[in-house]
Amino acid sequence: PPQRPQIPKHQFCADLSQCLFDFVVQLLPTAEELAIKEDVRKLLERLIRTIEPDSRLLSFGSTANGFSLRNSDMDLCCLIDSEDRLPATDLVNMLGDLFARETKFHIKSLPHARIPIVKLSLDPKPGLPFGIACDIGFENRLALENTRLLMCYAMIDPARVRTLVLFLKVWCKRRKINSPYKGTLSSYGYVLLVIYFLMHVKNPPVLPNLQQIPPMRPISQEETHLNGHNVWFFDDINVLRQRWQSSNTESVAELLIDFFKFYSRDFTYNTGVISIRAGLLSKESKGWDNDPDKGTARERNRLCIEDPFEIDFNVARCVTRDGLYTIRGEFMRASRILAARPERAFIALAQLCE
């Protein structure tokens, strides 16, 4: 067949941006779903307080960071503000029994896991078509902080940042490259890839680096550190909105196209470490390259994404050689689909998420 002339890039991008917004909007959780989840949190908090009166149950992960999709799971963290609290193992066992007695949830206690948790789930029913899945962990204060950091990034430029992140979350789930247990990357890892790209790859940047903006008043080490990790970042979004305006005017579609391009051909996977805190780092400088004493270092550090606060921790350590190969293959596939610029942008979206 005769080749049709490709539609101009600006026209394709305008069309694709609109499609992305429309696509993402219908995937946001409904007000009803959010209300049900908040009721669940309150109910569980009330029950936990019958055992530990000084406890609070807080949301983290996507339900609290602005990147939640319809029917995403609930990540909850229990904080106990008293000195003589029960060991996590005992607490997990007691809470498991209590929830089993007092609620309709299916319960699974994992008291001996690396991070002890209680898992709760509710089967789907009318009015709750996907059920509920919820994990309760304990004293995970760093997760609360990184959730707050991501939330601030989501709020700085919601139209572009949230749209990109939400789309990529759907895309990586549909393409089956979002299972740390099977050697691919967690949602948290993908969000860090997007923030890194917008902050350190795009020039001019779409996002400021909140961890590098100096505080407005002197603050002590006690205020900035948590379990030995510096968790300080500029979190006054109102001030930031007045003072910081990105001079990058690219559309969400242009950013998406470049995101896939960057991670399919430009990022130096063999030597580079993605750090939203400090920009591009080397595996060597972090001791994440081939360390002869740690035979598994190479296997654990195929893909390196530094946690924003726990900087010795590679968020992508679960990604295997095959997993990375698959992920990179998917970035290339996505790049190819977008470069072909089908006449109607929604066709590109449908192909991407096939």
- The number of helix segments (H) and strand segments (E) in the chain equals 14, 9
Q: Residue 62 or residue 184: which is nearer to Mg ion going by CB?
A: 62
Cβ(138)–Cβ(118) under 8 Å? Answer: no
SS3 content of the chain, % helix, strand, coil (to 5): 50, 15, 40
Q: How far is the CB of 169 from ligand ATP (least distance, A)?
A: 6
Number of residues that bind Mg ion (CB under 5 A): 4
Locate 172 and state its tokens: 């990586």
Angle between helices 187-196 and 141-156 (to 10 degrees): 50
Q: Which of 327, 202, 196 is nearest to 255 (CA)?
A: 202
Q: Residue 160 or residue 317: which is nearer to ligand ATP going by CB?
A: 317
Q: How far is the CB of 69 from ligand ATP (least distance, A)?
A: 6
Q: How far is the CB of 113 from ligand ATP (least distance, A)?
A: 14
Among 12, 16, 52, 61, the residue binding Mg ion under the rule CB under 5 A is 61
Stretch that binds Mg ion, among 65-73, 156-164, 241-249, 287-295 (CB under 5 A): 65-73
Locate 42 and state its tokens: 């309150």
Q: Residue 13 or residue 57: which is nearer to ligand ATP going by CB?
A: 57
Q: How far is the CB of 10 from ligand ATP (least distance, A)?
A: 33
Distance of alpha carbon 254 from alpha carbon 195, whole angstroms: 15
Name the closest residue to ligand ATP (Cβ).
61
User: Considering CB distances under 5 to 8 angstroms, the limit depending on partner class, which of Mg ion, ligand ATP, none binds residue 184?
Assistant: none
Distance of alpha carbon 52 from alpha carbon 79, whole angstroms: 10
Cβ(118)–Cβ(107) under 8 Å? Answer: yes
The count of other CB atoms within 10 Å of the CB of residue 256 is 25
Stretch that binds Mg ion, among 4-12, 66-74, 99-107, 346-354 (CB under 5 A): 66-74
Q: Residue 12 or residue 60: which is nearer to ligand ATP going by CB?
A: 60
User: Considering CB distances under 5 to 8 angstroms, the limit depending on partner class, which of Mg ion, ligand ATP, none binds residue 146?
Assistant: ligand ATP
Residues that bind ligand ATP (CB under 6 A): 60-62, 65, 67-69, 72-73, 75, 143, 146-147, 186-188, 307, 315
Q: How far is the CB of 41 from Mg ion (least distance, A)?
A: 14
Q: Residue 17 or residue 62: which is nearer to Mg ion going by CB?
A: 62
Q: How far is the CB of 153 from ligand ATP (least distance, A)?
A: 12
Among 15, 33, 52, 75, the residue binding Mg ion under the rule CB under 5 A is 75
Q: How far is the CB of 220 from ligand ATP (least distance, A)?
A: 25
Distance of alpha carbon 261 from alpha carbon 331, whole angstroms: 7
Which runs of consecutive H residues, i.e. helices, occur in the chain? 9-25, 31-51, 62-65, 88-102, 141-156, 158-174, 187-196, 221-224, 237-243, 252-261, 283-286, 297-300, 321-339, 345-352
Residues that bind Mg ion (CB under 5 A): 61-62, 73, 75
